[in-house]
Amino acid sequence: MNVVITRMDAWTAAGRGVERLLDAVCVGRPLQRELGGFPAPIAALPEEVDVTTLLREVVAGVLPTAGAGRVGLVVGTTSGAISGGFEAWMRRGAKPAEELRWRSAPALAVAGALGLAPVTTVSVACASSTLAFEIGAAWIRGGRCDRVIVAGVDKHSLYIHAGFAGLGALGPTGSRPFSVDRDGLLLGEGAAAFLLEPAACALSAPLAALLGAATSQDAYHLTAPRPDGAGLARAIQRALAIAALDSSEIDAVSAHGTGTVLNDAAEAQALITAFGGAVPLHAIKGVVGHCLGAAGAVEAAVVIAALNGAPLPAPPVTALLATRQPGEVRHAISVSAAFGGLNAAVVFGRVGAGHSPAAPGREAVGGVPLPEASTPRSTELSRFRARKLPLSTVWPGAPAALGRADRYVRAGVRLCRDVAPHLQFDDLIVLRSARDCRSADLRYFSGVLARGFAGSSRLHFPYTVPGAPLAEGSIAAGLRHAAWVLCDADDAAVDPAALLRGAGYRRVVLLRVDAASDDPARFAIASATLYE
């Protein structure tokens, strides 16, 4: 079943709507401004709005017409509601209710208000909303719902700013992706949303076809990219294979392009590996900032507009790789990389461009047809109590630095090591947790509350990523597989049968780590189950 994008909306530092976003990135003038009390400029929204309202507005902007059937919602975000909750805590001195700190809170609130179901929150840091496209398409192809709204959202906050400042990642004067004198990223905020529909029964005229998507893990470092870009190159190559396209057929490449020294260098190596010659490259984070979990969605809006005739920004001036100005855009790819070494890529095509990959896409990989829909066979690979996890039982000979990780991360590392002998190279790993890294959030932010920016710990901030267990686990077990992280209270959003049908994976390994509360001592059962 082919999937198309029929509606899109955005709200960024450029203002409300996709047109303002396009005007800003084509002019190329940074939208940064100084905000009192912050040590680096920010590409902030012109209006003051909370994260749930921001998400609700862009999702409402793409709602389908009557007769759409079951409409699901997949939201990619780095921080969800936690920033707003912690900011209120700082101002009022009272810890907010637990549910108001959940990463899934904005998605759940918007889905409830607009009658959308099923709903899930994807949180793999800065690759979240790029990965959300793969999940949305899988839901349609697997029969979970008739249509899906894919969105990305993140708001700037002291919580986020202090963390990146503590890592030394912020550009003191802004961001210059791929330039020789690049010295850091520009934080931004915003949201974008898209309506995905089956091509055969779309209710609106298609803007683009979703041709392929893929993820990979670096298995290298919790925050630093793999220098040779091999993980990102692998995600790009897999997405192209799923789309049944050669790299020479890609007319536009939307780069992750953070403007940091190491990330841009690694991404350049990945693009050289995947494309060989001059790359039709553009990067927009120097204008609208790095919108974190929303970045992939915002960048996808620019790519989809180009498939419909809108101009693209000029390629960056860079010595890192050869670039070229794109001509007519018929096929485009958007790429993202994230903390934890998770990479994502999604391929879009112009509708009517004469290309239609075999649905659900992965049939093209290896040429082996996927099995008919059936109840998958499940095998439990690991199960243990997560209340006491000394390093010696998690990873014998583990690096000393892992000693600062809480039980959530340690449980994930042990699960990855337990399942590694059972994995095949093309398996999908899904980590599902409702309370995920909230104990790390509390530990990190308590220092910021006490001492401001000086209290931001570069040791603790990287563990405020729900995918940290997979990041550390991939390093411990050498895993470079496709991987998703879902912040959900149960397995309904996973639905292994639908994933096996809709995403085209022949095997899915579901990791579960959860707790009864934010107290890290109360993490209960960790388990891993193989579905095939």
pLDDT confidence of residue 434: 83
Q: Which letter does DSSP use for residue 499 in this model?
A: H
Burial of residue 396, with CB atoms counted within 10 A of its CB: 0-12 exposed, 13-18 middle, 19 or more buried: exposed
Q: Helix, strand, coil % (nearest 5) of the chain? A: 40, 20, 40
Q: Quick one: pLDDT at residue 185?
A: 96
Q: Give pLDDT tens digits for 57-89.
A: 999 999 998 889 999 999 999 999 887 777 777
Can you give the residue ranges of every domain in the chain? 3-222+229-360, 378-531
Please say whether the beta carbons of 158 and 532 come within 8 A: no
**CA–CA distances in Å: residue 388 to residues 264, 391, 398, 406, 517:** 40, 10, 16, 10, 16
The mean pLDDT of the chain is: 90
Residue ranges in the chain whose pLDDT is less than 70: 90, 92-101, 353-374, 490, 492-493, 515-524
* Residue 165 and residue 40 in contact, taking contact as beta carbons nearer than 8 Å: yes
Encoded tokens for 526: 């960790």
pTM for the whole structure:
0.94
The one-letter code for the residue type at 365 is V
Contact by Cβ (8 Å): 365, 149: no
Range 3-222+229-360: architecture per CATH? 3-Layer(aba) Sandwich (3.40)
308 backbone dihedrals φ, ψ, rounded to 5° = -110, 20
What is the 3 state secondary structure string of 368-409? CCCCCCCCCCEEEEEEEECCCCCHHHHCCCCCHHHHHCCHHH
pLDDT at 225: 93
Q: Which residues form the catalytic set?
A: 126, 256, 290
Q: What is the pLDDT of residue 234?
A: 97
Residue-wise pLDDT for 458-497, tens only, equals 888 999 999 999 999 999 999 999 999 999 876 766 778 8
Angle between helices 158-166 and 438-451 (to 10 degrees): 80
CATH classification of 378-531, choosing from 3.20.20.70, 3.40.47.10, 3.20.20.10, 3.40.50.920?
Answer: 3.40.47.10
